[in-house]
Structure 1
Amino acid sequence: MKVWVLRHGEAQSRARSDAERELTAHGREEVLKSAVHLSDKSVQRIIASPYVRALQTAELVRQSLGFNDPVVTVPWLTPDSSPREVLLQLDKLGVDEVLLVSHQPLVGELIGVLAHGSPQQAEPMSTASLAELEGEFVLAGAMQLNSVRHV
């Protein structure tokens, strides 16, 4: 299985709530630069946090790739979600290649769990950073971190 983990692009610093923060113009540019690295990949599903900035990021990637299926929104990709819960959900997906669009600290901790078996070995992820992991099984420490691209 291949898992790409994308942190949302730069977002507004203020909104009525954290969940409502939107991407800035710079954030949209960052996302489009990251999306280029997915253009030759076989992403089967794009899954995003329900937060506005993550949904906007996922939609920009979807459009950039010419991906026909809609973005799937899930509650287990919010900033404070558990990496272990994400592993459980990924195991149920039934797809070989998936893009997850989420937030810090979750994205860094998730990569740490997948590649090293521990959220304490979190990967630093800037806005619109894209990580590629690959492995036969979605288990803690069982996936290889192939690359991390920072914009």
Structure 2
Amino acid sequence: MHLIIMRHGEAGWHTLDQERELTEAGRAGVASVAAQIAKSPWRPERIWASPYTRARQTAAIVSEVLNCPVEECPVITPDDDPGKCLDLLLENKASPLMLVSHMPFVGCLSTLLVDGHRKGIPFMTAQAVLLDMPVVGPGCADLKAQFLP
């Protein structure tokens, strides 16, 4: 399974957390990363996005560039348990798949899949990583590529 994990683009701070919107710089960063992914051999067939506004906006930009559908996924918000997402990955086995979410979730999920623990690595806004998992499970993924704005 190929999984691309992306943090949403830069968002403003002028409203409630769930309603924060991307800034112009955030939109540009997301478009830059989406263009890099489009040129790579790993294009997702589906995008799962957090229900928060900034993640949905990020996913919409990526979807437009990559021409793939977006599905809202309620268990990938900032403080959700990455284990629940792992369960969904085991059930769905959709590959290649892209997740658009938030810190600390993206860092925790990435380290769970690569290193088998949940301490979490930092992600810049609009950063994405590609994981290759022959078997979906903790510690089973290899980091194959990184996309930076």
**Shorter-chain-normalised TM-score: which range?**
over 0.9
1:72 Cα deviation after fit = 0.3
Q: Answer yes or no: is 1:141 the counterpart of 2:139.
A: yes
d(CA) in 1 for partners of 2:81, 2:99: 14
Q: Spell out structure 1 runs of 4+ moving beyond 2 A.
A: 147-150
The aligned counterpart of 1:103 is 102
5+ residue gaps, structure 2: none
The aligned counterpart of 1:27 is 26
Alignment of 1:118-137 (within 5 A): 118-120=117-119, 122-137=120-135
Report the number of matched residues. 147
1:123 Cα deviation after fit = 2.2
- Could you give the per-residue CA deviations for residues 10-34 of structure 1, whole angstroms, max 9, x where no partner exists? 001121x200000000000000011
d(CA) in 2 for partners of 1:4, 1:149: 10
Alignment of 1:87-102 (within 5 A): 87-102=86-101
Alignment of 1:1-151 (within 5 A): 1-15=1-15, 17-39=16-38, 40=40, 41-67=42-68, 69=69, 71-120=70-119, 122-151=120-149
Query: What is the Cα-based RMSD across aligned positions, in Å?
Result: 1.1
5+ residue gaps, structure 1: none
Q: Is the 8 A contact 1:125 1:150 kept in 2?
A: no
SS at match of 1:147: strand
TM-score calculated relative to the size of structure 1: 0.93
d(CA) in 2 for partners of 1:97, 1:133: 10
d(CA) in 1 for partners of 2:43, 2:33: 15
Counterpart residue type for residue 66 of structure 2: L
d(CA) in 1 for partners of 2:48, 2:104: 17
Counterpart residue type for residue 147 of structure 1: A
d(CA) in 2 for partners of 1:4, 1:10: 18
1:88 Cα deviation after fit = 0.4
Identity of aligned residues (%): 37
